[in-house]
């Protein structure tokens, strides 16, 4: 529950902030004017250097604003894990934080790309999946996918939408969010199962070394262990309730 709500952040001062960003992810795209000016200035500087041949091109052939935005973010923000960058398992960073660090994983880069596209009036949104985060946009009747995990091309422009193979649980722009919590619920169940199995095996392994009659003790210990299982079940049910509540509240807005 702690990991899912706070991203496993070690700083208690950031727990409330991280929980709020998970409940209302659209706030990540509501960027202040100072940060927008910084992003715009850096983006224009990058394009001028690229047009002057000072920056090697990222793509051969056709080049659109989507290619430019992707190239800028890929060159400006080094890919790195949240563990080493923010001391968290899954930290949701704002564009300002991502620019300050200069390093982030897929969600931080996707938020920054979407910020640039929204600034230019494009219909774009961030799509968060259980394993990956990417950007989707509409352009002249075409579907644009940026950093989509199922595509070899980091910027894919297609007339037909891709099949929904990657499970996502929320997609959002700066004003609203669309929730589909079941993939996250399934992932939560898997995480809880793994944690429970590891704790059970560790307890059994430690207990069998401490007692002369390990089988009898294991049998007795499992009788008490059911209460731990009940606790995990209650925590999981609470988490499912919170996800469904978030989905319901988002539809009420």
Mean pLDDT of the chain: 83
Indicate the pLDDT class of residue 39, thresholds 50, 70 and 90: very high
pLDDT of residue 250: 61
The mean pLDDT of 138-158, rounded to a whole number, is 89
Q: Give the pTM.
A: 0.79
Q: Write the CA distances from 92 to 14, 16, 20, 69, 230, integer angstroms.
A: 11, 12, 10, 20, 31
Phi, psi of 136 (to 5 degrees): -125, 145
Q: Which long-range contacts (CB under 8 A, 24 or more apart) does 119-124 make?
A: 119/36, 119/39, 119/40, 120/65, 122/65, 123/173, 124/173
Q: Are 90 and 134 in contact (CB under 8 A)?
A: no
Answer whether 127's CB lies under 8 Å from 168's CB.
Answer: yes
Q: Which has the closest alpha carbon to 59: 71, 69, 51, 47? A: 71
pLDDT attached to residue 33: 93
Is the pLDDT score of 249 beyond 90? no
Q: Which of 42-51, 153-162, 176-185 has the lowest mean pLDDT?
A: 176-185
65 and 73 in contact (C-beta within 8 Å)? no
Residue ranges covered by each domain of the chain: 2-179, 182-252
Q: How far apart are the C-alpha atoms of 128 and 134, rounded to whole Å?
A: 7
Among 136, 126, 84, residue whose Cα is nearest residue 105: 84
> Which residues, in sequence order, are CB contacts of 97 under 8 Å at separation 6+?
108
User: Do 131 and 149 form a contact (C-beta atoms < 8 A)?
Assistant: yes
Looking at the predicted structure, is the pLDDT value of residue 113 above 70? yes
pLDDT in tens, 40-95: 999 999 999 988 888 887 877 778 999 999 999 999 999 999 988 998 888 999 99
For residue 117, pLDDT over 70 is answered with yes
Q: Model confidence over 212-222: pLDDT tens digits?
A: 455 555 555 55
Which residues, in sequence order, are CB contacts of 64 under 8 Å at separation 6+?
139, 155, 157
Strand 103-104, strand 78-79: pairing: parallel
The span from the CA of 219 to the CA of 180, in Å, is 41
For 2-179, the fitting CATH number among 3.40.630, 3.10.620, 1.10.10, 2.20.25 is: 3.10.620
% pLDDT > 90, the chain: 46
């Amino acid at each position: 529950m702690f990991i899912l709500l706070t991203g496993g952040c070690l700083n208690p001062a950031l727990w409330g902030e991280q929980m709020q960003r998970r409940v209302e992810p659209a706030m990540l795209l509501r960027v202040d004017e100072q940060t927008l000016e910084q992003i715009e200035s850096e983006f224009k500087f990058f394009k001028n250097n690229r047009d002057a041949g000072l920056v090697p091109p990222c793509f051969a052939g056709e080049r659109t604003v989507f290619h430019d935005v992707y190239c800028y973010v890929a060159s400006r923000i080094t890919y790195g894990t949240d563990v080493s960058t923010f001391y968290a398992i899954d930290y949701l960073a704002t564009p300002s934080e991502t620019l300050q660090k200069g390093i982030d994983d897929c969600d931080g880069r996707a938020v920054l790309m979407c910020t640039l596209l929204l600034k230019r009036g494009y219909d774009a949104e961030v799509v968060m999946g259980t394993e990956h985060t990417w950007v989707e946009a509409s352009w002249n009747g075409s579907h644009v996918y940026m950093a989509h995990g199922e595509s070899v091309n980091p910027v894919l422009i297609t007339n037909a939408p891709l099949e929904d193979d990657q499970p996502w649980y929320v997609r959002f722009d700066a004003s609203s969010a669309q929730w589909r919590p079941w993939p996250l619920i399934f992932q939560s169940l898997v995480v809880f199962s793994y944690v429970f199995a590891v704790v059970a095996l560790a307890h059994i392994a430690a207990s069998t070394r401490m007692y002369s009659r390990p089988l009898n003790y294991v049998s007795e210990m499992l009788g008490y262990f059911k209460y731990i299982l009940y606790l995990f079940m209650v925590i999981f049910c609470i988490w499912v309730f919170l996800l469904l509540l978030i989905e319901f509240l988002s539809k009420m807005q």
